[in-house]
Amino acid sequence: MSTPAKSKRPLRSPRKKTTESGARDEGLSARSRGRRAHDDESTAALRPDAHKSALGTPSGMKPEGPGRVRRRAGGRDQPTTLSEPERLQKVLAQAGVASRREIEEWVIAGRISVNGLPASLGQKIGPGDRVKVNGKLIPLRFTQRTPRVLIYHKPEGEIVSRDDPEGRPTVFERLPVLAKGRWLAVGRLDFNTSGLLLFTNDGDLANRLMHPRYQIDREYAVRLLGELTEEQARLLTEGIELDDGPARFNTLVGAGGEGVNHWYHVTLSEGRNREVRRMFEAVGLTVSRLMRVRYGPVVLSSRLKRGMWMEMPEAEVCSLAGLPPPVPKPGGRGKPPEPKLRRTMPRV
């Protein structure tokens, strides 16, 4: 008895993979190949469904189209934390919003705003900036970058300039070399004046410390040839007229002395060229020695000898700059170490 032959099933043609958006695989594949180099630059920080809670669901930014939110390998959220202002497209790419190319297209299309104004290509954003995509605020975090500040005891005979036609020694020859940026002098001391001089690598902080509107006191120890009369002291504290405008000392206090040399301590809230010397000259007195001993809350330490510098501790820099105090490092105990006093030989 013969066994009936089994009927063969018709062969099925291979089924193509489809997506929620329908038969667009071929187009998506081609686009993904063309964009791979750009997508590799960006790193996604949000899960595919995280856009609903973190960003809302902006119109025109659906999870399945070119505006979809990508995810990192492993699928874990990675907070976007930046240490300084960065280009808008880089920041949003790191936040997982889209690739840099897509973000550039959105900027051109007017879908992105910064602080209520249309964004521009290459625009940098930093702490305090509010970035919105299709009207929805993007959460971004910036870490605090603490400026560096040096305290230098300037001796007489050095100029506060990088270039001097006369070739005189410059204070910048004494300072440590920065890997990035350069040291900015907070104000100046003339060639024959010694004492406290601050340097920072942050232009905003330098401006904050120098600008007259902040009313930061500078205190000087002044040695005069001759004794100051009460009338001269009154003129100097009430105000006198110099070539570049009125000037006055906030305080003027005697500090002793013998013979023809008398010491005084004066304070003022600005730093015009040779201002202290010119003020005493205006009332007929000659300054034989001038030394700055304080700048705002920073006092010249007796441990810091002439030609030496020390770096200000981070906590004091934050206080000086009006920044939040630094976060203690894990495992840190006790007081921070004393700042080291250093002497750098002039570079030739």
Return the active site residues: 190
CA distances for 114 relative to 4, 88, 266, angstroms: 77, 9, 47
Q: How many CA atoms, within 13 angstroms, populate the side-chain half-sphere of residue 342?
A: 15
Q: Is 291 helix (H, G, I), strand (E, B) or coil?
A: strand
User: Residue 231 region, left (φ>0) first, then alpha (ψ -120 to 50), else beta?
Assistant: alpha
How many CB atoms sit inside 10 A of residue 252's CB?
Answer: 19
User: Residue 122 region, left (φ>0) first, then alpha (ψ -120 to 50), else beta?
Assistant: left
Kind plus residue range of the DSSP H or E element containing 308: strand 308-311
d(CA 206, CA 225): 34
Cβ-contact 272, 244 below 8 angstroms: yes
* Long-range contacts, stretch 317-322, CB < 8 angstroms, 24+ apart: 317/146, 317/147, 317/148, 317/149, 318/146, 320/149, 320/205, 320/209, 320/296, 321/146, 321/147, 321/202, 321/205, 321/208, 322/208
Which ranges constitute the DSSP H helices of the chain? 25-41, 51-54, 88-94, 100-109, 203-210, 230-238, 275-282, 314-321
d(CA 243, CA 235): 16
How many CB atoms sit inside 10 A of residue 165's CB?
Answer: 6
How many CB atoms sit inside 10 A of residue 322's CB?
Answer: 8
